[in-house]
Amino acid sequence: MPLLEVNNLETRFVTDDGIVEAVNGVSFSVDKGQTLGIVGESGSGKSVTCLTIMGLNPKKNTMSSGEALYNGQNLLTMSPRRLREIRGNDIAMIFQDPMTSLNPVHRIGDQLMEAVLLHQDVTKKQAKARALEMLKAVGIPRAERRIADYPHQFSGGMRQRVMIAMALVNNPDLLIADEPTTALDVTTQAQILSLMTTLQKEFGSAIMIITHDLGVVAEVADDVVVMYAAEVVERAPVDAVFKRPHMPYTWGLLGSLPRLDTDTERLVQIKGQPPSLLNPPAGCRFHPRCPYVMDICRVENPPLRPVSDDPDHLQACHLDEETKDREAQKLIAGTMAEAS
């Protein structure tokens, strides 16, 4: 049984302008010790998917359906009391912006201890010892002194480490990281990513990492979910996504990336803008921007189905596989040929 299994998750927000379909029929699963990467443009529903799983969407004006089974228990229908027991203890979340996700008026030590005291039957002293241990684990220098500092006394990278320490303080089974390195410099990003993978090895946690950086995904993820306009358009092991992508949107994402290892004069660009989720296009949601659009794409939304010779590789596109393999190879060859 996977640690987390999400089935047909739907989230809708009621707004003055109408109903926004923020997540539409998303399914995936994460096993213990595995890392799942979720990629997509802003507004594709990555963050809302995670917030829905964590039960952190505003109650007002939100409608959710489907299942998010954590160890077989549905997080969506669970009592708030039981959910609170799981959240922060078994499932923890690292938020995107380290500058705003820490409480500025509390010492970081107190913020770290809060999670321990809430979930474990320990004394304050023990909780403090645990907080200190975590600060050391995430590589904060002079942790004994810095535990009494306020968030403003830390730099961005250090704050992100504190966020990670806070998320890991109860040894969660599942860590959801929403763009954990987006606000950071590459050097700090490398530190944080290696920290996360080391801690994962040590504690055997599962990680769900949301990012728009395909480089990060290639490096840390075992499986990848590509989201576009609130739907999953491709889901596969990481090598398949990069070596044999089967969805024109994924090609666009890969091609639009300037890379250190290749020379490209012009980047592939995905024309146009992501659609409004208030009124998504009929048929395949990517069709208005897709260079391979066919008549059927305008009418029928392709279901997520496996590639014929690779049952782990799911994709949602009407194009025939022969064309897709050929185009994907062209994309890879076009960039790879000049790499050597």
Judged by CB under 8 A, does residue 340 bind other proteins?
A: no
DSSP annotation of 3: S
| DSSP structure string for 169-210 | TT--SEEEEESTTTTS-HHHHHHHHHHHHHHHHHH--EEEEE
Stretch in the footprint of other proteins (CB under 8 A) among 2-10, 18-26, 65-73, 248-256 = 248-256
Which helix (DSSP H) or strand (DSSP E) does residue 145 occupy? helix 143-146
Nearer to other proteins, 176 or 220 (CB): 220
What's the min distance (Å) between Cβ of 285 and other proteins? 15
**Among 18, 80, 204, 215, interactor with other proteins by CB under 8 A:** 215
**Least CB distance to other proteins at residue 318 (A):** 21
- Given candidates 61, 65, 100, 256, which one binds other proteins under the rule CB under 8 A? 256
CB–CB of 179/7 below 8 Å?
Answer: no
Can you state the angle between helices 156-168 and 186-203, rounded to 10 degrees?
10
C-alpha–C-alpha distance, residues 209 and 178, integer Å? 6
Q: Is 288 in the site for other proteins (CB under 8 A)?
A: no
Between 90 and 219, name the residue whose CB sits nearer to other proteins. Answer: 219
Position 216 contacts other proteins (CB under 8 A): yes
Residue 138, CB half-sphere, CA atoms under 13 Å: how many?
27
Residue of the chain from 14, 63, 148, 190 that contacts other proteins (CB under 8 A): 190
Asked if 219 interacts with other proteins (CB under 8 A), we say yes
Kindly state the smallest distance separating residue 119's Cβ from other proteins, in Å.
31
- Cβ of residue 64: shortest distance to other proteins, in angstroms? 26
- Distance from C-alpha of 143 to C-alpha of 131, rounded to nearest angstrom: 10
- C-beta separation of 134 from 88 below 8 A: no
Q: Summarize as ranges the residues that interact with other proteins (CB under 8 A).
A: 41-42, 141, 155-158, 185-191, 193-194, 212-219, 238-239, 242-243, 252-261, 264, 266-270, 273
